[in-house]
Amino acid sequence: MTTGRITLDIGGGIARLTIRRADKLNALDAGMVDAIVGLCRQIEHSTVRVAIMTGEGDKSFSAGGDISAWSGWSPEDFGRHWVRDGHAAFDALARLSVPLIAVLNGHCLGGGLELAACADLRIAEAHVRIGQPETALGIIPGWSGTQRAVRRFGSQIVRRMALFGETFGAEDAARLGLVDQVVARGEGIAAAETIAARVLSRAPRATELTKMLVNAAEGEETARVLESFAGTIAAASPDLAEGLAAFREKRQPCYGQEE
């Protein structure tokens, strides 16, 4: 399955998302951002149990949002579309029901870091460079780089990158908790496949529910998690069957009498 410059391949219980714009270091333009929501929906409607996301080539995971496109946006549209659409896309990724592993195979900057922050696990290849250069360009980290990134990595790390311009290599990133594992250049996907196999060996429903609970604990999607759990319980109750039957038969529902 392909949507423009981001491809989705599904097989063996694993969804593989690849950003395919290597000539621009996998910078994300508006069309790519828009595609992410639909791709996430395809993953949700499939039977996959784990997802892996990486960038094309061996130089860059993603060098962030497409800087060259920014001059075409009015300030209002920048906030209304660029930032808002980015949030919708990255929220969908962070809230995938299956665990998401990011393989950071090079530059992971700005929007690239915000993208990586959506994953449940980050594997860094040895040559990775991680940072938030936005304020040097006169813009803010607007795809949740001051929000989800703070929740997931801690505010001090974000301060160091976003306010002071620090860029971290793989070992420092692992020490600071920005990434979970460091592997040699070119070995990220193999490492991710090994971890994905471990996910596949575990119970899918319990894994999904646990991810939802961890996300809720982080404030990632508390409202949806609450309503999902309640919705599942309500849908399993005989009341729903009676309510639907009454609607179909054009009568008042009978939910039983109080003792």
65 near ligand COA, judged by CB under 6 A: yes
Q: With binding defined as CB under 6 A, does residue 55 bind ligand COA? A: no
Q: Given its phi and psi angles, is residue 154 left (phi above 0), alpha (psi -120 to 50 degrees) or beta?
A: left
- In the list 10, 30, 37, 67, the residue contacting ligand COA (rule: CB under 6 A) is 67
* Farthest-apart Cα atoms in the chain, separation: 72
Return the number of the residue (109 or 183) whose C-beta is nearest ligand COA: 109
Contact predicate 90/115, CB 8 Å: yes
Q: Which stretch binds ligand COA (CB under 6 A): 66-74, 146-154, 198-206, 224-232?
A: 66-74
Binding to ligand COA by residue 86, rule CB under 6 A? no
Token couple for 54: 């990486």
Q: Tell me the window of 32-40, 48-56, 96-104, 106-114 that interacts with ligand COA (CB under 6 A).
A: 106-114
Q: Is 24 helix (H, G, I), strand (E, B) or coil?
A: helix
Which of residues 96, 110, 125, 211 is near ligand COA by CB under 6 A? 110
User: CA-based angle 28:34:35, to the nearest 5?
Assistant: 90
Pairing of the two strands 181-183 and 121-125: parallel
Contact flag: residue 106 with ligand COA (CB under 6 A): no
Instruction: Locate 185 and state its tokens.
Output: 């250049």
Among 133, 191, 220, 225, binds ligand COA (CB under 6 A): 133
